[in-house]
Structure 1
Amino acid sequence: MSRTVRTIYLLLVIILYSFQIKSQDVGAIGKGQALKVNGGIAMNSIFYTSNGPATRSPFSFFINGNINFNLYGWSVPLTFAYTNHTFSYTQPFNQYSLNPTYKWLTTHIGWTSMNFSPYTLNGHQFFGVGVEAAPPGRLHYSAMYGRLQKAIGIDTAHPEYLPAYKRMGYGIKIEYAGDNYNLGINLFRAKDDINSVRAIPDSLQVVPQENIAIGFTGGFTIYKHITFTGEYATSQMTRDIRSPLAEHGAFNVTNPFIRNRTSTGIYHAYKAGINYNVQSFTLGIGYERVDPEYATLGAYYFTNDFQNITVNFSQSIFNHKVTIGGNAGVQNDDLAHKKISNMRRLVGSLNVNYTASDRLQFDASYGNFQSFTNIKPQFAVVNQLTPYDNLDTLNYVQISQNANLNMNYQLAGNKKRRQSLNVNFSYQQATEKQAGHADTTGGTKFYNTNAGYNLSLVPTATTVTVALNLSYSVLPGNNSLAWGPTLAVGQAFFNKKIKTRLSASYNTSANNGATQMSVVNLRGSAGYTWKRKHNFNLSVVSLFRNNMRAQTSSPAHLFDLTTTAGYSYSF
């Protein structure tokens, strides 16, 4: 390790530990109640019976509870669960974190995670220490140091568990906020300890890695209405630190922090946006590009090799009664033109909101998604006689559309009676094209609509709901229809200490015009609260299924009854 890197390590550790000592002086210590304890316990019994095949236990019993000890904001949660089959419990000491805060300083100690940038350190969990400081003024900063991956040796008894090298990392982030601009820089470095485990066979494809990622952010506002934002990140990744050393190529800001090897690659990511906002109009344009193979050891998963261009807008008209918004974008991959296939996606959506009055409102939306895939087989290229052979044979297009319309109307009412009516309709379509020819089956189409009426009688604490649902789908060779009404009544008693609810629903389904099944569902429930801490509940669900296409192993007329009784206490 070079003297420069050792110096950075030493300074960072000193800074982190000095912050850790200061952060222990939290303002809550010595004020108020030192120890607070809260929690609860719940018990439930489920009885089940059916005239069909036994798919569930006729009796189940559940007990679960939790207790939390809180000492000046330091929490220790404990939970347990018991059934007539198993027992389990959890405690936080396998992975525990302390996060004391004092004024503008927050310290993370133990198992924790931090975010610097999507391209450098992005939510990766580590065991160590971190600080986030936002003192009065324009300068804010964060730092972290710890173990990102534990060393795991080869386990011959469990070959499904892959070994791993110990991985340590550190990072720092600095941000400066001006009057009309902001600037930031963040750095993250991680390296595997090659000596942390015994030699790992190459067949397992587990190799020690090293990474340095640096990001720059900025933004500024002009004329109070136009805002520019931008971010640039570069990551130098060594896929195998055992590979031979190599000379540095073109200069990169990461070069001083990591030695270049034959397995080292340098990658870049860019993101920029401009937004224009004036009165009731907003327009935004965004661009993002991530190099192929871009990766960082500060994230569990990373999407690379893509380019995005997006546009969005919003406009209010007619005295803000109508709001129109939309966005569109295009994404493509294979930026280096080295993949066997490439893909381009087009996305667009439009939303309209119309507030006709205080009681009537409409919402409508439409979305369109198109995916273009171009496969480039090697033999097609080798065997073609002219540049025009096989021009479109492997072009594949997927098209998906969706539309939604919703209406909500508050009917005439008063303080004693409230009524509302809601109607919703949605439509989805998916189809495809191969070599420029549309799908002869017509693709798939889904229609769904539902309508509901709600009545609330405030003096008697009574609610009534009537609803109707209908779904229709068109698939290649199969058209299906399902519909049915629902009626529900709720009633509270004794100053709302006892709450009851009864509901009944009927559903029937048919395929290609032939009825398949009808279902009647009856539900009843009651709950009682005593002294705000004790809760008793009882529910009964009965289901009657009439299957016109029943198999010999299942009865044509099926009856299920499920009864649940429970009690819970909280403190």
Structure 2
Amino acid sequence: MRLYIIFISVFILMFSISLFAQQGIWGEGYNFIKRNFKISGEIGGYGEYYTTTSEYARRPNNTGRLFFRPTISLFNLIQIPFEFLISTEGSSARQDINQFGINPRWSWGSLHLGDFSTEYSKYTLSGILIRGGGIDINPGNFRFSTAAGFTKRAVPGGAQDGSFKRFLFASKIGYGNESVSYLDLIFVRAKDEISSLDQSHKSITVLSPNGRDVLNIGSVVTITWNSYNVGGAVKIEISRDGGATFELIADKQPNVGFYNWTVTGPATFEALIKISSVEDSTVFDLSDNFFSIGSGVQTTIVPNTNNIVNQNAVVPQENLVLGAKGRISFLRSAISFDFDAAGSVYTRDLRAQEINIDSSKIPSFVLKIYKPRISTNYDFAFNTALGLRFSSFSTKVGYRRIQPGYNSLGTSYLHNDIQEISVMNNITILNVNLNLSYIRQTDNLLKQKSFTTARNIITAGINARILKGWTTTISGNVLLMTNNSKKDSTRINFRSYVLNLNNNFVFDPKGFTKGLIRSINLNYSLQSSDNRSYLLKNNTTLVHSVNLGLSFVISNELSSSFSAGFVSSSIFDTVKSFTHNYTLSFQHKAFSNKLNSSLSLSSAFNNANKSYRASVSSGYNIADSDNITLSISFLRFDGKTFRGGSFNELLTYLTYNHRF
């Protein structure tokens, strides 16, 4: 609620100042501010309603968002943009998606406050959102940048969903012109706050029998459970009256997660298993639902589909990265050499024991900055490229290597244990452009795996303008993937080929088409793959795709387009399918282009599945600075292969945008 109050208050203040400036109601004394103070930007909202007859809803029933993006200009020298985003999904997401930021800019620098992202290099700081502050200064050829803030909030959960609160500090200093020659030195430090998550919670979770099971008296059934932070033995009990009373099955049993129980009578339809800690009886769990015990019945154990979360699987991490990025060019950039390199020290678990290191070999101030632990490792990554560029020909030869142990908590995603050699060429002759490239990738750089996987990728393409309105493109791709495993069960031998033909025709509306057909696009692609691995013999896939697109000009206010797609595929030479889809849409403009409406009808057919979608959207410019849009989309799906069967789906949304 506090965020909404701030949002509304700032909007009222900005809007009032802008209105007073336009009306000049502050008198002659305001003329100076009016000339040197300007505010612009946009504010708006989005509301969505979704409903479906399927039990598998793909979206929340209701969604709402508010955004406010004002920019203040001072003396025509400094620009201060603000960024506010409030969403109903907000804090319900794993990481908060609400955003609030202010980013003033001027001729030789910028400032960041709130939520922002910045790019140093793909191996150091790239692709993550920071909530904090930063500054970029670039007077002339000198560059300095620093950023600090939180990149993750504390979220209880397992290894996939949980996270500690993480603080990051980064800095970059450099000199030179990025388009010619330059050098940047980069420092990134990220560390999780151990105290941000309480992992001392004790729990026991019954896995089976967990409800709706059927147990035959005299049969042997395995009782299973999970436990976290529970030391010592456990006690196993059963209730036959829905939890009113319990009887002992086994006491002081090792907490190993399972116990083989010979089912005893009497029979019941309201059985529950209870497992508790012997040391702390307040830590226990019951079966989620009743199960049955009977004589002469068939024992049936219902699989437990609950998401069992290990709260201790997420670990606090620490990372220190030093990097360098730059370019050296000669002969007016006809010859250039680019490089991007970084070294990383990464600790997987901050709770691990520290390593005693002789301070005489390593300066004491280094150990104060970063303390190595038994879960700490260091490694490096780099990327280089040598380029030659001439008027009609260019080539680039690159080499990339990312060691298996390289990690940077300042990047959103980084694939390590990879070595890549690449050669890319481009030739332009008149209206014809030809490109040819080759990439070879390998892993197992430290030979710690039992075999090495290699990928060879060859790509070729030609783009030509045949006539004034006719452009054609032919491209092909070959992928060869193998490994040197000596075992048939793990050996890989995969090949894939792709051929694509595309033709685009653009007609003069006053030509022979009499203003009806505006353009035609025809595309054909062939995809063929063959997996010759021992365990997947005769695994061949062949896919033919044809797509046709037409656009029409019916009148000055009405236009239309039609598209059709056909896909034929076969797998193992036995599993064959044919998919075809069609879309017809209309676009209409009215009231001097203030009202823009569209209607779209589409259908798709694949074997036993059919889908039909109708969408209508209308946007109206209330004024030059205000726009409101309403959209309604209805989907009907009929199928036998989808787990939810046939269903209907309705999506409606309303947006409003005001520019000032």
Q: Is TM more than 0.5 here?
A: yes
What is the aligned partner in structure 2 of residue 440 from structure 1?
538
8 Å CA contact retained: 1:315, 1:325: yes
Alignment of 1:335-374 (within 5 A): 335-374=445-484
User: Which residue of 326, 329, 337 corresponds with 1:221?
Assistant: 329
Alignment of 1:58-457 (within 5 A): 66=67, 73-75=80-82, 77=84, 79=86, 96-136=100-140, 138-146=141-149, 164=164, 167=167, 169-177=169-177, 181-190=181-190, 204=312, 210-224=318-332, 225-239=334-348, 240=350, 242-247=353-358, 258=370, 263-317=375-429, 319=430, 321-375=431-485, 390=486, 394-411=490-507, 413-414=509-510, 417=515, 419-435=518-534, 439-441=537-539, 443-457=540-554
8 Å CA contact retained: 1:506, 1:520: yes
Q: 1:536 to 1:37 in 2, by over 3 A?
A: closer
* CA displacement at 1:274 relative to structure 2: 0.5
* CA displacement at 1:502 relative to structure 2: 5.7
- Alignment deviations for residues 128-175 of structure 1 (CA, whole Å, 9 cap, x no partner): 442211112x3212233455566x69x7xx788857476564534333
* CA displacement at 1:287 relative to structure 2: 0.2
Whole-Å separation in 2 of the counterparts to 1:62 and 1:305: 41
* CA displacement at 1:272 relative to structure 2: 1.3
Q: 1:218 to 1:242 in 2, by over 3 A?
A: same
Q: 1:411 to 1:187 in 2, by over 3 A?
A: closer
* CA displacement at 1:531 relative to structure 2: 4.5
SS at match of 2:452: strand
8 Å CA contact retained: 1:374, 1:394: no
Residue identity in the other structure for 2:538: T
Whole-Å separation in 1 of the counterparts to 2:616 and 2:656: 19
SS at match of 2:525: strand
8 Å CA contact retained: 1:149, 1:168: no
* CA displacement at 1:269 relative to structure 2: 2.0
Per mean C-alpha deviation after superposition, the further-off stretch among 138-147 and 353-362 is 138-147
Q: 1:76 to 1:367 in 2, by over 3 A?
A: closer
Residue identity in the other structure for 1:440: N
Residue identity in the other structure for 1:143: T
Per mean C-alpha deviation after superposition, the further-off stretch among 200-209 and 361-370 is 200-209
8 Å CA contact retained: 2:164, 2:192: no
Whole-Å separation in 2 of the counterparts to 1:192 and 1:563: 40
Whole-Å separation in 1 of the counterparts to 2:98 and 2:584: 49
- Alignment deviations for residues 199-228 of structure 1 (CA, whole Å, 9 cap, x no partner): 979983666655432223343223442211
Whole-Å separation in 2 of the counterparts to 1:534 and 1:296: 43
What is the aligned partner in structure 1 of residue 24 from structure 2?
none
8 Å CA contact retained: 1:408, 1:420: yes
* CA displacement at 1:119 relative to structure 2: 2.8
What is the aligned partner in structure 2 of residue 24 from structure 1?
none
* CA displacement at 1:409 relative to structure 2: 1.3
SS at match of 2:524: strand
Determine whether 1:480 maps to 2:577.
yes
What is the aligned partner in structure 2 of residue 9 from structure 1?
none
- Alignment root-mean-square deviation, CA: 4.9
Residue identity in the other structure for 2:377: G
- Structure 1: segments with no counterpart, 5+ residues: 1-27, 83-87, 376-389, 511-515
Higher strand share: 1
Q: 1:313 to 1:29 in 2, by over 3 A?
A: farther
SS at match of 1:395: coil
Whole-Å separation in 2 of the counterparts to 1:440 and 1:269: 39
Identity %: 20
Q: 1:270 to 1:200 in 2, by over 3 A?
A: farther
- Alignment deviations for residues 340-364 of structure 1 (CA, whole Å, 9 cap, x no partner): 3432111121111010121111011
Q: 1:266 to 1:446 in 2, by over 3 A?
A: same
Residue identity in the other structure for 1:452: G
Whole-Å separation in 2 of the counterparts to 1:391 and 1:159: 35
Whole-Å separation in 2 of the counterparts to 1:119 and 1:536: 42
Whole-Å separation in 2 of the counterparts to 1:507 and 1:199: 50
Whole-Å separation in 1 of the counterparts to 2:599 and 2:83: 41
SS at match of 2:377: strand
* CA displacement at 1:562 relative to structure 2: 6.7
8 Å CA contact retained: 2:523, 2:547: yes
* CA displacement at 1:481 relative to structure 2: 2.0
Q: 1:123 to 1:541 in 2, by over 3 A?
A: closer
8 Å CA contact retained: 2:520, 2:549: yes
8 Å CA contact retained: 1:166, 1:196: no
- Alignment deviations for residues 14-35 of structure 1 (CA, whole Å, 9 cap, x no partner): xxxxxxxxxxxxxx99854566
8 Å CA contact retained: 2:125, 2:188: yes
Residue identity in the other structure for 2:171: G
Whole-Å separation in 1 of the counterparts to 2:493 and 2:359: 43
Alignment of 1:484-503 (within 5 A): 487-498=584-595
Report the TM-score when normalising by structure 2: 0.62
Whole-Å separation in 2 of the counterparts to 1:429 and 1:335: 30
Whole-Å separation in 2 of the counterparts to 1:502 and 1:178: 47
Residue identity in the other structure for 2:531: E
Q: 1:102 to 1:540 in 2, by over 3 A?
A: closer
- Alignment deviations for residues 426-482 of structure 1 (CA, whole Å, 9 cap, x no partner): 2222321125x98324x2222111223322145x43324344332211123222223
Report the TM-score when normalising by structure 1: 0.70
8 Å CA contact retained: 2:421, 2:440: yes
Aligned residues: 498
Whole-Å separation in 2 of the counterparts to 1:249 and 1:333: 37
Residue identity in the other structure for 2:578: L
Whole-Å separation in 2 of the counterparts to 1:104 and 1:348: 43
- Alignment deviations for residues 6-59 of structure 1 (CA, whole Å, 9 cap, x no partner): xxxxxxxxxxxxxxxxxxxxxx998545666753456788899xxx98999xxx
Per mean C-alpha deviation after superposition, the further-off stretch among 467-476 and 478-487 is 478-487
